[in-house]
Amino acid sequence: MTPQTADDNFEIPPPEAIGHERGSLTRIVQELVFTVDHKKLGLMYIASGLLFFVVAGLMASLIRIQLAVPRNNFLEPDVFNRLFTMHGTAMVFFVGMPMLFGFANYLIPLMVGARDMAFPRLNAFGFWVFFFSGLLLFFSYLGAPGLYAAGSAPDVGWFAYSPLTAKAFSRGHSTDYWTLSILLGGIGSIATSINIIVTALCLRCKGMILGRMPLFVWIYLVVAFLIIIAIPPLSACQIMLILDRYFGAHFFDTQAGGSAVLWQHFFWIFGHPEVYILMLPGFAIASEVIPVFSRKPIFGYPVMVAASVLIAFISLGVWAHHMFAVGMTSIGNTFFAISTLLVAVPTGIKIFNWIGTMYGGKLRFELPMLFCLAFLFQFLIAGLTGVMLGVAPFDWQLTDSYFVVAHFHYVLIGGLLFTIFSGIYYWYPKALGKMPNFKLGLLHFLLFMAGFHITFFPQHISGFLGMPRRIYTYDAGRGWDLWNLISSLGVILQAAGILFFVINLIYSYVKGGKAGDDPWDAWTLEWAASSPPPDYNFETLPEVRSRRPLWDLKHPDDPDWKYE
Amino acid sequence: MFQPLSRQAEMIHSASLVVLAITAGIFIVVSLLLVYVVWKFRRKGPEDDLKEPPQIYGSTHIELAWTVVPIIIVLVLILVTSRTIGEIQNRKMPPNAVEIRLIGHQWWWEVRYEKEGIVTANELHVPVSQRTGEGMRPTQIFLESADVIHSFWVPQLAGKTDLVPNKKNQTWIEPFAKGTFFGNCAEYCGTQHANMLLRVVVEDPEDYEKWVQTMKQPPAAPQTGLAAQGHKAFFENSCINCHTVDGTIAGGVYGPDLSKLMTRQTIGAGVAPLTPETLRAWVRDPQTLKTGCFMPDMKLLDSEVDAITAYLLTLK
d(CA A452, CA A165): 32
pLDDT at A150: 44
Residue A407 belongs to what domain range?
A: 35-562
pLDDT average, residue stretch B29-48: 89
Q: Which of A471, A521, A547 would best serve as a mutation to test chain B binding (most B beta carbons within 10 A)?
A: A471
pLDDT average, residue stretch A293-321: 94
ipTM of the complex: 0.94
- pLDDT score of A1 more than 80: no
pLDDT at B45: 80
Under DSSP, is residue B178 helix (H, G, I), strand (E, B) or coil? coil
Record: contact B165-A255, CB cut-off 8 A? yes
**How does pLDDT run across A438-462, given as a tens digit for each residue?**
999 999 999 999 999 999 999 999 9
Record: contact A363-B41, CB cut-off 8 A? yes
Could you tell me if A392 and A356 lie in one domain? yes
Could you tell me if A368 and A420 lie in one domain? yes
**How does pLDDT run across A362-372, given as a tens digit for each residue?**
999 999 999 99
Which residue among B49, B77, B292 sits closest to A391, beta carbon to beta carbon? B77
pLDDT at A12: 60
DSSP secondary structure string for all residues of A162-174: TTTTSTTTS-SSH
d(CA A372, CA A31): 34
Could you tell me if A413 and A530 lie in one domain? yes
pLDDT average, residue stretch B29-33: 95
Residue window 82-101, chain B: list those with CB within 8 Å of chain A. 82, 84-86, 88-90
Amino acid at A104: A
Share of chain A above pLDDT 90, in %: 82
- pLDDT score of A351 more than 90: yes
pLDDT at A204: 94
- pLDDT score of A347 more than 80: yes
State the virtual CA torsion across A520, A525, A529, A535 in degrees, nearest 10. -130
Could you tell me if A290 and A259 lie in one domain? yes
State the virtual CA torsion across B54, B55, B59, B63 in degrees, nearest 10. 100
Could you tell me if A498 and A478 lie in one domain? yes
Segment holding B273, helix H or strand E: strand B272-273
Quick one: residue B293, left, alpha or beta (phi over 0 = left, psi -120 to 50 = alpha)?
A: beta
pLDDT at A144: 64
Mind telling me how many Å the CA of A66 is from chain B's nearest CA? 13
**How does pLDDT run across B79-117, given as a tens digit for each residue?**
999 999 999 999 999 999 999 999 999 999 999 999 999
- pLDDT score of A343 more than 60: yes
Using an 8 Å CB-CB cutoff, list chain A residues near B143.
Answer: 327
β-strand pairing of B123-127 with B197-203: parallel
Which residue, among B283, B232, B290, B228, has the nearest Cα to B261 in the 3D structure? B283
Task: Give the C-alpha distances (Å, rounded to integers) separating A8 from A12, A39, A128, A538.
Answer: 9, 16, 21, 16
CATH superfamily of B225-312: Cupredoxins -  blue copper proteins (2.60.40.420)
pLDDT band at residue B263 under the 50/70/90 scheme: very high
Q: pLDDT averaged over chain B?
A: 92
- pLDDT score of B219 more than 50: yes
pLDDT at A14: 59
**How big is chain B by its Cα radius of gyration, in Å?**
28
Could you tell me if A371 and A427 lie in one domain? yes
Domain B98-216, what architecture?
Sandwich (2.60)
| Terminal C-alpha separation, chain A | 33
Phi, psi angle pair for A543, to nearest 5°? -135, 135
The per-residue b/e assignment along A120-153, b for 16 or more CB within 10 angstroms, e otherwise, is bebbbbbbebbbebbebbbebbeebebeeeeebb
pLDDT at A10: 57
Which residue among B1, B78, B148 sits closest to A163, beta carbon to beta carbon? B148
Residue window 142-161, chain B: list those with CB within 8 Å of chain A. 143, 147-149, 151, 153, 155-156, 158-161
Which residue, among A313, A302, A387, A319, has the nearest Cα to A353 in the 3D structure? A302
pLDDT at A118: 94
Which residue among B53, B86, B164 sits closest to A362, beta carbon to beta carbon? B53
If you count them, how many residues does chain A have? Answer: 564
d(CA A362, CA A521): 13
Return the CATH number at A246. 1.20.210.10
pLDDT at A208: 93
Residues of chain B with CATH 2.60.40.420: 98-216, 225-312
**How does pLDDT run across A59-107, given as a tens digit for each residue?**
999 999 999 999 999 999 999 999 999 999 999 999 999 999 999 999 9
Longest Cα pair distance anywhere in chain A, in angstroms?
Answer: 76
pLDDT average, residue stretch A282-293: 96
Provide the β-strand partners of residue B6.
Answer: B175
Amino acid at A460: H
Could you tell me if A5 and A89 lie in one domain? no
**How does pLDDT run across A176-229, given as a tens digit for each residue?**
999 999 999 999 999 999 999 999 999 999 999 999 999 999 999 999 999 999
d(CA A68, CA A152): 24
